[in-house]
Structure 1
Amino acid sequence: GLCRGIAGRHSIAAERVLAHSDVAPGRKIDPGEKFPWRTLFEAGVGHLVAAAPVRRGATLTTGDTGGDVEALQSMLALYGYGVEISGVFDRQTEAVVEAFQRHFRPRKVDGVADGSTLRTLQRLLASVRR
């Protein structure tokens, strides 16, 4: 009730309901991957999609470069994460991927952009009402 009321009074879009870790990736990890985002979402607060299953497969990780990294950074930035779109999977990108995972794909928080992370991010972007 309280969160729904605050979001309504201030016209806060669902996707703007954030965690400390979303705002300050790499510096903050709270509220952490055990926070009940699903419960909040089911009560009408926040933005969430079903996380894609974690499976083995290709990944993007620290040190990788190129178009796939740039696409990942672009999608994270489009959702609102503060990440430089450089095409280089650097420490900042890793911290942002970890923050994303903590909030939207908490089953495995490791800063590696695996298929589950990418598919969950794509689902999230597709579900934003613009």
Structure 2
Amino acid sequence: MRIFENDDPPAQVNIVPAIDMIFAILTYFIMASLFLTRAEGLPVNLPQAQNAESQTNRQSIIAIDANGNLAFDRETVTLEELPDRVSAKVNGGSLIVAIAADEAVDYGRVVAVMDSLRGIEGVRLGISTKQQ
């Protein structure tokens, strides 16, 4: 008669904690990459400029798409609402407002946006372009 002294079950590798850790790391990188892209609210095809400069100051973006639709800091607005929204954001300080207009947008629409913002105290206007 044979007597087995070792009645322990065979060793197993549990990979569930490793899978949980991999999914947690993957989730972190996906969420972090979402904040790396800069969206202005509307799809805009910016014109190119050789002498474009980056701005790091406090700024907001007004996007004007090819159809003339406006978005201020990713929220759709009308031309009549725009001065009130911008002056609420300035709140007594200073603010650079970059106008990101599509190449196909009518020049008159850009001038109308600039004209509506010119009277607001503390606002400096800029034009967004792509660097070549």
Superposition TM-score, scaled by structure 2 size: 0.29
Greater percentage in strand: 2
Greater percentage in helix: 1
Superposition TM-score, scaled by structure 1 size: 0.29
**Bigger Rg, which one:** 2
